[in-house]
Amino acid sequence: MESPFRPDILKGKVALLTGGGSGIGYEISRQLGKHGAFIAIMGRRKNVLDSAVSSLRSFGISAIGLEGDVRKRDDAVRVLESTIKHLGRLDILVNAAAGNFLVPAEDLSPNGFRTVMDIDSVGTFTMCHEALKYLKKGGPGKGPSSGGLIINISATLHYTATWYQIHVSAAKAAVDSITRSLALEWGTDYDIRVNGIAPGPIEDTAGVSKLVSEVRSNAEEQEPLFKFGEKWDIAMAALYLASDAGKYINGTTMVVDGGLWLSKPRHLPKEAVKQLSRAVERRSRDAPVGVPKSKL
């Protein structure tokens, strides 16, 4: 799909994306690049990075790949330094690296829980923390009153509770909290906007292939708003937040899921409600609940 945004809205900006070599992170990289940004992607697997970089370049995007694991502070420091060395500045940090697997809570070891917290929550904080000196107003390539921005990729799992994902729900709840706290502190002190995006189920991603059961019996009945989104949908939200269109948005996590998290099974058919509601009104007018018959 074509982007509704002008192709130069991020001209001259530099973006670093963790997990930018595949899935949602890759599509955000591609769209930020197609709208003028220079792209650095960080990931653990060299082969994934290499093929993502050559694919980005085939779209005419200036891109580099930097190997690193967000769980290692030294990697974060080194990748940020390389970004500045190669691209001269940092305007946009997207934290898209994440870990996930389905497991009943009783079968999840504390180390399994910690692993996902380390990637999603601690990793996000580490990247933000080490990027601060480059993103803040007055940082490399920045004026005295214009800072950069951060986008943290989150989820909606923790808004209620999600089966077999206690670790990820906890980790994403922490990510949302980090988004709000940094928006407050760094928005005030350094002119950095910090926002999040909470995607619903997105086609062709590791998240969906790992987590959405192949047998989705009665899915529409259980979750009437269930439908797959595209990576493009998430990338457009990122573009909006990263562009000047989002200049007054700080500390929010934008849900991009077609309303899915609000889904509830329909407990009555619509026709039944149409017929019932009038009848119920009439009945309660004729015999109000709680008013003794003698008073009518």
Q: Which of residues 85-114 bind ligand COA (CB under 6 A)?
A: 98-101, 103, 108-109, 111-112
Contact flag: residue 42 with ligand COA (CB under 6 A): no
Tell me if 196 sits within 8 A of 175, measured CB to CB.
Answer: yes
How do 149-153 and 63-67 pair as beta strands? Answer: unpaired
Residue with Cβ nearer ligand COA (84 or 127): 127
Residue whose tokens read 């019996």: 217
Q: List binders of ligand COA among 175-204 (CB under 6 A).
A: none
The binder of ligand COA chosen from 36, 141, 187, 207 (CB under 6 A): 207
Least distance from ligand COA to the Cβ atom of residue 76, Å? 16
Query: Shortest distance, CB of residue 208 to ligand COA, whole angstroms?
Result: 8
Percentages helix, strand, coil for the chain (3-state, rounded to 5) are 50, 15, 40
- Determine which helix (DSSP H) or strand (DSSP E) holds 113, and give its type and residue range: helix 110-116
User: Rounded to an integer, what distance in angstroms lies between the CA atom of residue 237 and that of residue 226?
Assistant: 19
Dihedral of alpha carbons 195, 200, 206, 211, sign: positive
State how far the Cα of 1 lies from the Cα of 154, in Å rounded to an integer. 24
Chain position whose Cβ is nearest to ligand COA: 99
Number of residues that bind ligand COA (CB under 6 A): 14
Nearer to ligand COA, 135 or 178 (CB): 178
Which residues contact ligand COA (rule: CB under 6 A)? 98-101, 103, 108-109, 111-112, 115-116, 206-207, 210
